[in-house]
Each structure stands twice: as structure tokens, then as C-alpha cells.
Amino acid sequence: MVKVSFNKKVETDLISNYLRTAQTSKQFVENFAHALQERNGAVARLFLSPEIRGQIKPEIIGPSTPVTKIEIKEVSYSNYYWVYNVKAYYGPYDNNSPTLAFEIKLTVEPERYPDCSVVSSRYFITKLDWINGKAEFIPN
């Protein structure tokens, strides 16, 4: 007889590993953007590296007002990381055009093993910089 039980940390790690798997860094950021659109801050936080996960206010990655549109632009690339600008918009509501919810700059790096070799097709957001939007969402 074999008994298998998971504690919440293992379950979270399994979900996090699944979410952070993508064919490209851009696809990874698109998956993160989808979590933002679904207003699921808990899921969106799993895309962040453990080092910054506790430093970012939940409101940034789980706004209560629905985000209806997200624009992703690759800003730069090096051998070690990618930088993307992400703009999120509310609306349009009534006859008004979409309103900027926030703009952030993400640094995305491949996940690495302890020996520093790259884990294939897995990424982390290792830095999240505030650019624009409502002041109450500014990171800690």
C-alpha cells in the first residue's frame, strides 16, 4: 500500500511549475497577462520569482476592476533575460474609450537549476517595475 499526501507548499509548487512552463518568454508573459485578465492575483503571483513574490502588492497583479485589454511589447533581450512592457486597460465602458489601469515593466528570466543551468521552457518574472497608473497600486 502506498499513501501519497501533498501539503499546500507542494501543491503550490506543482501549480507554479505548470504555469511557468511556456515555449517562449513572450508566451510566458501572455500567460501572465491572461491571469491578470481573469483577476486572479493568487495565480498571477505564482509567475513571480520567490524573491519578489512577497514584495509586490496584490492589487498590482489582481486588480478588482476587470482588465479587458493587455498590450505586451518586448523592450530588450540579453543572453540572460528579456524585458517587456505590459499595459493593462479597463473598459471600454459606455461610450468611453479604454482607460489605462497600469503599465509595468517585467524582467523575465529562465528558471535555473542550483548549478545555474537553465530549466527548459520554464521562466520567472524576476523584476516588476511600476511605470504608470493608479498610485494605490505602487509596489511596496
pTM of the predicted structure, to 2 decimals: 0.79
Q: Of 88, 95, 110, which is closest to residue 20 (Cα–Cα)?
A: 110
pLDDT of residue 27: 95
State the Cα–Cα distance between residues 113 and 116, nearest whole angstrom.
5
**pLDDT confidence bin for 3, thresholds 50/70/90:** low
Angle at 11 between CA 6 and CA 16, to 5 degrees: 160
